């Protein structure tokens, strides 16, 4: 999303603030608790693929396998929303909230006879600032003057930090000796995106300046263009033998692993666009922040 688009949206919102309310409706502030159901994207597919990879590997080369990698759980969150009346029933809405989730896990594999031991650790940490700018229309239900129905529609802005840590270690035992190999990968990505949202709800005035609110909302938002710091180190017998360090782009592709003919999803950072004949469906990686929410809140009118 360009700075120009953000500036235009903010300029429109500022215009309505300057013009001011043209109806008897009051400016209001709503605090809500949101129960969210997120749509899966590249990250979840990659994590699921990593679990499948180890299961297939353990089946191909019999051994003891334990542990699994977990998806970040975003769960519920709180939101604050400012409603600014423009015309009768019509208002500008400005809202903000934070979303965060951390998913980590460790997989351990020991080959039969304990000649080989492998451990992989994976951490995905996501944090997002959600901003919404849009319009709402509110009207009363005639038989019940205190009851109102409203609808919202507008743009959804996201600013995301996505950190990934991956550690792998393999120990091979042969002729009463041990040989070790390991790597560590750390990425700190960030990006932004502009999506859409729409919602429908009801509002009931419990006292003169306070109302309770219940609504449902759908957000459509996918984020790509992730860039950030990249550190990849390879060790042999605890000695550093190779290192990549710089600014990377997040890529998604499908690749074979461990000499298996099966293709598994990969979501990782590269300093340059990877060129490999074995990679399929290569593109920039996406995080999916599309979701359906049930929201319960309180509106204060000033």
Q: How far apart are CA 115 and CA 110, in angstroms?
A: 8
The CA radius of gyration of the chain, in Å to the nearest whole number, is: 25
pLDDT at 23 over 60: no
Q: How far is CA 150 from CA 13, 203, 207, 271, in A?
A: 19, 8, 19, 48
pLDDT band at 20; cut points 50, 70, 90: very low
The pairing of strands 263-270 and 280-284 is unpaired
What mean pLDDT is predicted for residues 135-160? 94
Q: How far apart are CA 105 and CA 241, in angstroms?
A: 26
Answer for the pair 29, 80: CB distance below 8 angstroms, yes or no: yes
Q: Encode pLDDT of 69-79 as tens digits.
A: 999 999 899 99
Q: Where are the alpha helices (DSSP H) in the chain?
A: 3-19, 42-60
pLDDT band at 195; cut points 50, 70, 90: very high
pLDDT band at 21; cut points 50, 70, 90: very low
235 is written with which tokens? 């060790």
Range of the domain at 282: 3-301
Q: How far apart are CA 196 and CA 134, in angstroms?
A: 9
For position 114, what pLDDT does the model report?
Answer: 72
Answer for the pair 96, 132: CB distance below 8 angstroms, yes or no: yes
The torsion angles phi and psi of 14, rounded to 5 degrees, stand at -65, -35
pLDDT band at 277; cut points 50, 70, 90: confident
Contacts of 220 (CB under 8 A, 6+ apart): 156, 195, 196, 197, 290
The torsion angles phi and psi of 19, rounded to 5 degrees, stand at -60, -40
Contacts of 8 (CB under 8 A, 6+ apart): none
Q: How far apart are CA 42 and CA 269, in angstroms?
A: 13
Contacts of 255 (CB under 8 A, 6+ apart): 263, 264, 266, 276, 278, 279, 280
Answer for the pair 159, 128: CB distance below 8 angstroms, yes or no: yes
What mean pLDDT is predicted for residues 265-279? 93
Structural domains in the chain (count) = 1
The torsion angles phi and psi of 280, rounded to 5 degrees, stand at -120, 150
Q: How far is CA 22 from CA 116, 177, 238, in A?
A: 74, 82, 71
Q: How far apart are CA 223 and CA 228, in angstroms?
A: 14
Q: What percent of the chain has a predicted confidence (pLDDT) above 70? A: 92
Answer for the pair 133, 155: CB distance below 8 angstroms, yes or no: yes
Q: What is the pTM of this model?
A: 0.87
The pLDDT mean for the chain works out to: 91
Contacts of 104 (CB under 8 A, 6+ apart): 69, 70, 121, 122, 123, 124
Length of the chain in residues, anyone?
302
Answer for the pair 209, 189: CB distance below 8 angstroms, yes or no: no
Q: How far is CA 228 from CA 64, 122, 191, 296, in A?
A: 37, 18, 9, 36
For position 223, what pLDDT does the model report?
Answer: 96
Least confident of 27-36, 83-92, 162-171: 83-92
What mean pLDDT is predicted for residues 83-101? 94
Q: How far apart are CA 12 and CA 129, in angstroms?
A: 21
For position 25, what pLDDT does the model report?
Answer: 72
Q: Which residue has the higher pLDDT, 177 or 221?
A: 221
């Amino acid at each position: 999303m360009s700075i120009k688009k953000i500036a235009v949206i903010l300029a429109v919102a500022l215009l309505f603030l300057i013009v001011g309310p043209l109806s008897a409706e009051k400016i209001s502030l709503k605090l809500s608790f949101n129960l969210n159901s997120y749509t899966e994207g590249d990250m979840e597919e990659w994590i699921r693929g990593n679990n499948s990879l180890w299961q297939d590997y353990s089946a191909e080369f019999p051994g003891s396998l334990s542990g699994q990698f977990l998806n970040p759980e975003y769960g519920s969150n709180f939101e604050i929303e400012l409603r600014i009346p423009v015309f009768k029933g019509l208002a500008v809405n400005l809202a903000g909230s934070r979303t965060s989730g951390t998913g980590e896990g460790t997989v351990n594999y020991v080959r039969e006879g304990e000649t080989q031991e492998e451990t992989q650790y994976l951490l995905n940490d996501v944090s997002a600032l959600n901003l919404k700018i849009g319009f709402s229309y509110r009207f009363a239900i005639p038989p019940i003057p205190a009851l109102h129905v409203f609808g919202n529609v507008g743009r959804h802005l996201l600013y995301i930090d996505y950190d990934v840590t991956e550690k792998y270690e393999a120990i091979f035992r042969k002729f009463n000796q041990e040989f070790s190999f390991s790597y560590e990968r750390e990425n700190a990505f960030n990006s932004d995106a502009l999506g859409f949202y729409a919602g429908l709800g009801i509002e009931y005035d419990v006292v003169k300046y306070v109302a309770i609110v219940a609504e449902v909302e759908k957000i459509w938002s996918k984020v790509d263009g992730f860039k950030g710091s990249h550190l990849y180190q390879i060790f042999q017998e605890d000695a550093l033998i190779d290192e990549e360090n710089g600014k990377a782009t997040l890529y998604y592709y499908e690749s074979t692993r461990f000499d298996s003919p099966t293709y598994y999803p990969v979501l990782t950072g590269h300093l340059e666009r990877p060129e490999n004949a074995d990679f399929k469906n290569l593109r920039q990686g996406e995080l999916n922040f599309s979701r359906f929410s049930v929201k319960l809140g309180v509106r204060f009118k000033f």
